[in-house]
Amino acid sequence: MLLFLISVTITVFLLAALLIMMLSGKESIDARLMEISAPPPPISTAIVEAPTSGLARAAAGITSVFKPIRSVVSGSDEDMSYKLTLAGFRRAEHIEIFTATKMLLPVLAIVAGSFFGDNMMAAILVGVVLGFMAPDFVLTSLISRRQESIRRALPDALDLLVICMEAGLGIDQAMVRVGEEIRLTSPALAEEFQIINREQRAGKPRLDAWRSMAERVDIDFVRQFVAMLVQTERFGTPIANALGQFADTLRTRRTQVAEETAAKAGIKLLFPLVFLIFPSIFVVALGPAIIAMGKLFSDSMK
């Protein structure tokens, strides 16, 4: 039965790949002709770098086998690269590892579900769905955790920037110094500051480096921070004063969010109190009295 399920799975994958190749055959030929006739576009080093680890090479081999259905499983590489960048994974091999994981988990779920006996089909269906969706859930969780870390550390980092600039450092040197200081409390924000420094050393304009940071992080506070820096850079206003006011604004918003969360706590605790805690309290408080009254009535009836 196990071999039959594995053979059926492989057959379905091969038929889907053949169907996709037949439907997109003409478009792929036209695309190749256009690539030959047109000059090759510049490709960044992050895309052309070869997999370095054994896991990445194995993942690349798996994805190359199922290359016709790769876009169906994980979408385009550009979208996947952007999502992985939001989570802090910037190497090209991370795309291969994520795609291979998303391809292998449903197959492993089919193999594991075949050991459930009578509930085999239900276990296989549930396992395939969970195996296909679990990598996306994990990636979304990592993105949210990284964004929350940057959002919490940004006001303190701005205060340190103001202190460094008032001490005589420029904005670029201050970002490098702050990135070193907040490495333990917020590695994600420290990494972003270091990337800005490396991009500027490579010759990228300062405004473009800040905008690239806002795109990599995708947080409203960071976008507002970058827009404020761009305005101060263009109009020549003092950056230290603008940073201080912006840090106060972010701190006020963080306090308001904390107060809002605290205000919602009472409503969120209402249902657990009513349905879980109050019944147990009633049982403990009134149970002995009810038992004693029952014995009293039984004795009086005799």
Please indicate, yes or no, whether residues 156 and 228 belong to a single structural domain of this protein: yes
Which pLDDT value is given to residue 7?
A: 55
Residues contacting residue 209 through CB under 8 Å, at least 6 positions apart: 196, 199, 200
Pick the last residue of a domain from 62, 88, 113: 113
Structure tokens at 131: 């195996």
**Together in a domain, 100 and 155:** no
Residue 197 maps to a domain: yes
103 and 159 belong to one structural domain = no
Please answer whether residues 186 and 157 qualify as being in contact, where contact means their C-beta atoms are separated by less than 8 angstroms: yes
pLDDT in tens, 207-217: 888 888 888 88
- Say if residue 251 is in the same domain as residue 164: yes
Please indicate, yes or no, if residue 181 is contained in any of the structural domains: yes
Among 110, 14, 26, CA closest to 69: 14
Is 77 part of any domain?
yes
* Residue 72 shares a structural domain with residue 157: no
Q: Are residues 92 and 161 in the same domain?
A: no
In angstroms, the CA 113 to CA 2 distance is: 9
Which residue, of 65, 84, 113, is where some domain finishes? 113
Give the tens place of pLDDT for each residue, 144-195.
999 888 888 888 888 888 888 888 888 888 888 998 888 888 888 888 888 8
Residue 266 placed within a domain: no
Per residue in 85-142, pLDDT (tens digit) is 888 888 777 777 887 788 778 778 777 777 776 777 787 888 888 888 888 888 889 9
Please check whether residues 89 and 171 belong to one and the same domain: no
Residue for token pair 């256009």: 34
Same domain (yes/no): 14, 63? yes
CATH number of domain containing 195: 1.20.81
> Is the distance from CB of 162 to CB of 148 less than 8 angstroms?
no
Examine the domain organization and report whether 241 and 178 are in the same domain: yes
Task: Tell me if residue 203 falls in helix, strand or coil.
Answer: coil
Which of 57, 85, 113 is the last residue before a domain boundary?
A: 113
Q: Does one domain contain both 89 and 42?
A: yes
Indicate the angle between helix axes 120-166 and 92-113, nearest 10 degrees.
150
What is the token pair recorded at 197? 């420094």
CA distances (Å), origin 30, targets 34, 35, 68, 144: 6, 9, 17, 40
Whole-angstrom Cα distance, residue 257 to residue 246? 17
183 within domain boundaries:
yes
Range of the domain at 41: 2-113
Q: How many domains does the chain have?
A: 2
The answer to whether residue 128 is domain-embedded is no
Q: What mean pLDDT is predicted for residues 53-81?
A: 66
**Residue 88 falls in which region: left (phi positive, over 0), alpha (psi -120 to 50) or beta:** left
